Structure 1
Amino acid sequence: MSRFTSFREFYPFYLSEHANRTSRRLHFAGSCGALACVAMAMFRGNAWWVLAALACGYGFAWVGHYVFEKNRPATFRHPLYSFAGDWVMFKDILTGRIPF
């Protein structure tokens, strides 16, 4: 796999790894759950919720990859770009740019 020199270059690859609609829905659900966990961490003042946010976000996403996409998550090869890609895709789903 080639190295990406920018997120702009990486994002089309990221989207190609999320072609399955069920996988995208699982990513979206995991991101919503992660946001709820972060809110709980702030509301309760308990940092364990941050760990729950990571487990929720990545757990749903990895099920989407291994069960529906049948590919390896980009997180393992491009962790920072992948994390950013999750949130850009989340925004793109919210705005209707990517079908839910």
Structure 2
Amino acid sequence: MSDQRAFRNFAEFYPYYLEEHQNVICRRLHFAGSLLVLLVGIGAILSGNVLWLLALPVIGYGFAWIGHFQFEKNRPATFKHPLYSLMGDWVMFRDMLIGRIRF
């Protein structure tokens, strides 16, 4: 499936998103990045040091992009579908937490 495809909604996009995350190490890196984003975000708010919020995109995308370029060997969906990709990150994170997706 090409990442040039137009998706009408997130429900159409998510199966494609999962196809782009078949490598377990890539999924683990996504999970680690998402978890760190949550922890650093909460820490920044609780500490009052909101400058840490600037690090969130670097943390989240850094882990994910290493997973794609080094292990999955594909281009992150973020480049063509940024909003759906961000939504997919959090839905996949939830699906891994509840055991729907192995990681």
Match of 1:52 among 52, 55, 61: 55
Q: 1-side partners of 2:92 and 2:81: how far apart?
A: 16
After TM superposition, the structure 1 = structure 2 runs for residues 1-100 of structure 1, keeping only pairs within 5 Å, are: 1-100=4-103
5+ unaligned residues in a row in structure 1: which ranges? Answer: none
- Name whichever of 68-77 and 43-52 sits farther off: 43-52
Deviation at 1:46, TM superposition (A): 2.2
* TM-score relative to the length of structure 2: 0.94
Q: 1-side partners of 2:50 and 2:80: how far apart?
A: 27
Q: 2-side partners of 1:47 and 1:54: how far apart?
A: 14
* TM-score relative to the length of structure 1: 0.96
Q: 1-side partners of 2:50 and 2:83: how far apart?
A: 22
Q: 2-side partners of 1:48 and 1:37: how far apart?
A: 11
Cα RMSD for the two superposed structures: 0.8
Q: Tell me which stretches of 4 or more aligned residues in structure 1 moved more than 3 Å.
A: none
5+ unaligned residues in a row in structure 2: which ranges? Answer: none
- SS of 2:102 mapped into structure 1: coil
Query: How many corresponding residue pairs?
Result: 100
Percent identity over paired residues: 60
- Name whichever of 18-27 and 33-42 sits farther off: 33-42
Q: 2-side partners of 1:48 and 1:76: how far apart?
A: 26
- Name whichever of 63-72 and 48-57 sits farther off: 48-57
